[in-house]
Amino acid sequence: MRVLVTGCSGFLGSEIIRQLLHRGDEVVGLSRRETPDLVRQGMSHHRGDLTDPHYVQRTIDDVDSVIHTAAVAGVWGPWKHFFQNNVIASRNVLAACREAGVRSLVYTSSPSVTFDGNHQSGVDESVSYPTRWMCHYPHTKAIAEQEILAADQPQGLRTVSLRPHLIWGNGDPHLLPRVLDRARSGKLRVIGDGENVIDTVHVINAAAAHVAAVDQLASDPDDAAGRAYFIAQDEPVNCWQWIARLCDRFEVSPPTRSISFRAAHTIGTVCETIYRVTGRKEEPPMTRFVAAQLAKDHYFDITAAKERLGYRPTVTLEDGLKTL
């Protein structure tokens, strides 16, 4: 197949590229940054900005499938920045796919599109979107997800949305460094009772889910298309025990001090208000979203991904930790 991957320079996008190349697919990558290592492995690269519709239309052409991983993540920042990069960019990708007659579009979403600050304990894809949003990232990702799923057409472009949760693994530039830096500096606190259970997903498994979605949309689109899927290790863990194991792996002292969820949520509310009023651009030390993510359950039933996409995690939690 000839597959185009947006966000090819990212942690997830680059692993998807490697898996596609390894099995012999022809791969085109789009990103703002250069990716010489992937080009050496056989990927064709087009550098540009997905918020530019002309660039997107020029580059999305003569491909069988598009995997759209590019996005701006984070818990703080102006609405326009998130909307442009997560919604407008996705609309441009969607329009270009339609124009070029692409057969399938796999969108990388996030479980946070359904997170309202309360426990999510083993929920499946029937859980609804929130009516109020705690930050711009999940809100804009949800808008893009809904538009891409609504664009699914049995006689035209077939679409799915994948929701990988807390992607980690060797070379992770985001999740692990953030946790370890906060623990190392002594700024990380156990929030809540320390008993919340979470899902994660190793980057190899997350990438394999995207490849499986491409294949399923090619072989049996009616069974898979037009749906969102939670993607996880299928090994829920106690959040703070997992963080302690990560700290131990990198010889960092794990957090021992704690704070109640109510106190953390209040601090987050105050910090957000002060930063918003004063126009500060850096992320506050605490936000309501971060407080809830660190105190509440968020693990998922991935039966749909197993049955409809054929997804199976191949890298276990234990094996993944050994490679860090």
Taking CA atoms, 195 is separated from 183, 234, 241, in Å, by: 18, 18, 9
Identify whether the C-beta of residue 56 lies closer than 8 Å to the C-beta of residue 96: yes
Q: Distance (Å, rounded) from C-alpha 323 to C-alpha 250?
A: 12
- Dist. CA 233–CA 82, nearest whole Å: 28
Tokens of 45: 């690269």
DSSP-derived pairing of the beta strands 2-6 and 65-68: parallel
Cα 126 to Cα 32, 123, 192, 253, 301: the distances in Å are 35, 8, 27, 39, 10
Query: CB–CB of 175/250 below 8 Å?
Result: no
Lookup result for tokens 């704070």: 259
Token pair for 81: 């920045």
Catalytic pick from 137, 229, 299, 311?
137
CA distance 81 to 45: 25
Note if 311 is an active site residue.
no
List active site positions.
137
